[in-house]
Structure 1
Amino acid sequence: MTTTENTIESRQLVRANVWGQVAALSARGLTKVIRNGELVFAFVAPAFLAVCFYIPLRKVMDQYPGMDYGQFLMPIIVLQSVGFAASSAAMKASFDGKDGIHTRFRVLPMPSWVPMISRLVTNAALLAVSLVCALVACLIIGWRPADGALGVLLVFAISGLIGILLALVADGIGLNAGSPQATSQAMSLPTLILGMLSTGFVPVERFPSWIQPFVRNQPISQFVDVIRGADQGALSWGLVQPSVYWCLGLFAVAMGLLAMDRRRMSA
């Protein structure tokens, strides 16, 4: 066997070993998700959110002509489920950091990106379950896909992209936060405040005039508008453009947080 053939074979073995590491760590993460009950909560949380918001507000909102509140509520239920998956990602990263697992991974013979990709696989699986359960819960409260199967696929794809970006941001927060408690506050408070001050629960016209510009332009409202547009088959560049910029911003924040963690651990 020539030197070139030996080199090619060595690279193939290294590549196979790396993806084997990704598979092993991903399986570890998924097992932990099941064991900790997060998968069960991914089923329960969307239904709980749908019931808690739909029942108290439906009678009030149905007084407005032409409003089907189950249809109106779908995007925010989906985004709240996405937020749950992101919070779970942050807490997993934080607890692993507290237990010293990230430090042990760094001294093992594996590329530095392997643990991050494995966490992303785990988070994506939990996100997919959360989204499916959210859409089922929305069907139960009266949502019906306005644009058929294509609309559902677009809703799922857009929500999934937002969820992956939020999971990356959450992963970075969990790695850099000093404790799981600090991680929980950093994830839950912004999500709660932005969710309540959004067009997900009530139209922007129902807010006081002085806060309407913030409500209209903040990221949750922009994501809600895009998901509604996808469901109704009414997407346009003018509707999608603000959300694209917010997604780019989330990606930049995620990369910054992950770079901060890498610098901190190498210092």
Structure 2
Amino acid sequence: MTAVTLSPALAPARRLGVTAGLRHTFTLAWRSLVQIKHNPMELLDLSIQPVMFVLLFTYVFGTAIAGSSGEYLTFMLPGIMVQNALFATMTTGFGLNNDLTKGVFDRLRALPIARWAPLAGRILADTVKQAWSIALLLGVGSILGFRVGNGVLGVVGAFALLLAFTLAASWISVLVGVLVSEPDKVQIFGFMVIFPLTFTSNIFVPTDRMPGWLQNWVEVNPVTVVADALRGLLVGGPVAGPVLQTLLWGAGIAVVFAPLAVRGLKRRV
């Protein structure tokens, strides 16, 4: 008789360390960035729309609202940066939902990588795109006549603050991305929530020029807080109060939505 030899049971895979997880995160983030060359419209959406907003509002409404297009550009550009950053967070939920519906996450789970790396890689890649969009707006604004009043430190502080806030706000997009069934529904959420949220702030019009009943909401609107913080850092004015409020808003959003998003993702995959 021929003896049948049973292969020994495979040893369970060891738990991956933080260093390996970070390496996987950077690899997947690079994957998301490289995809831009196959889908350039993704980057164009982050470039053309904000530039169009800057040009249209500066030269169509600038004189009527602020008396001159130059003064209005100084007031409006930091707010446009906030609006564009919030809309850009929707790309995180859109891309995440696209990966979920197409089975990309299922294939990634079969690989020996950290379980949190796919989500972290997506968020990291979108943060890089955010930085590109902020730099583009500042560059276009400088060509049109926008001048930074607080030097290099003000620019660096504005970059860091806006990226930190949008990083926290992206958890809302992640939650929407794991809850809806189609990527297009993430964009619908953006237009239904972010669009009115930004237009009922002081991004385009000073608060004191709005109806009294609306001013109460505008003053507590987190978009107003972030816009005021960027104006203080880039142009001049109060900085400590708006920056602290922005950080508190970001921390509050992350504390509420990050656990819900992670829980939803675990249920989805």
Q: Secondary structure at the match of 1:211?
A: helix
Aligned equivalents of 1:178 and 1:43: distance in 2?
27
How far does residue 11 in structure 1 lie from its aligned partner after superposition? 8.2
Aligned equivalents of 2:206 and 2:22: distance in 1?
47
When the two chains are superposed, the root-mean-square deviation of aligned CA atoms in Å is: 2.5
State the match for 1:53 in structure 2: 57
How far does residue 15 in structure 1 lie from its aligned partner after superposition? 6.3
Aligned equivalents of 1:100 and 1:211: distance in 2?
45
Q: 1:63 and 2:67 equivalent?
A: yes
Q: Is the 2:178–2:268 contact (alpha carbons within 8 Å) kept by the matching residues of 1?
A: no
Aligned equivalents of 2:100 and 2:16: distance in 1?
30
**Identity value in percent:** 24
- Structure 2: segments with no counterpart, 5+ residues: 1-12
Aligned equivalents of 2:100 and 2:46: distance in 1?
23
CA separation of 1:158/1:18 partners in 2, compared to 1, >3 Å: closer, same or farther? closer
- From 168, 171, 175, give the equivalent of 1:168: 171
State the match for 1:79 in structure 2: 82
Q: 1:247 and 2:250 equivalent?
A: yes
Query: C-alpha offsets along residues 190-247 of structure 1, whole Å, 9 cap, x if unaligned?
Result: 1110111111101101111011110111110011111111124544443333322211
Q: Secondary structure at the match of 2:213?
A: coil
Aligned equivalents of 2:67 and 2:17: distance in 1?
64
AA matched with 2:33: L
AA matched with 2:223: I
State the match for 1:42 in structure 2: 46
Q: Is the 1:173–1:257 contact (alpha carbons within 8 Å) kept by the matching residues of 2?
A: no
Q: Is the 1:46–1:133 contact (alpha carbons within 8 Å) kept by the matching residues of 2?
A: no
CA separation of 1:174/1:33 partners in 2, compared to 1, >3 Å: closer, same or farther? farther
Aligned equivalents of 1:119 and 1:159: distance in 2?
18
Q: Is the 2:233–2:239 contact (alpha carbons within 8 Å) kept by the matching residues of 1?
A: no
Q: Is the 2:20–2:114 contact (alpha carbons within 8 Å) kept by the matching residues of 1?
A: no
Q: Secondary structure at the match of 1:112?
A: coil
Aligned equivalents of 1:50 and 1:160: distance in 2?
20
Aligned equivalents of 2:207 and 2:136: distance in 1?
27
Aligned equivalents of 1:150 and 1:42: distance in 2?
25
Aligned equivalents of 2:239 and 2:86: distance in 1?
25
Q: Is the 1:90–1:183 contact (alpha carbons within 8 Å) kept by the matching residues of 2?
A: yes
- Map of 1:1-267 to 2, 5 A cutoff? 18-37=21-40, 38-63=42-67, 68-265=71-268
AA matched with 2:62: R
AA matched with 1:158: L
Q: Is the 1:197–1:215 contact (alpha carbons within 8 Å) kept by the matching residues of 2?
A: yes
Query: C-alpha offsets along residues 72-109 of structure 1, whole Å, 9 cap, x if unaligned?
Result: 01111111221232121121111111112123323433
- Structure 1: segments with no counterpart, 5+ residues: 1-9
CA separation of 1:25/1:224 partners in 2, compared to 1, >3 Å: closer, same or farther? same
CA separation of 1:108/1:215 partners in 2, compared to 1, >3 Å: closer, same or farther? same
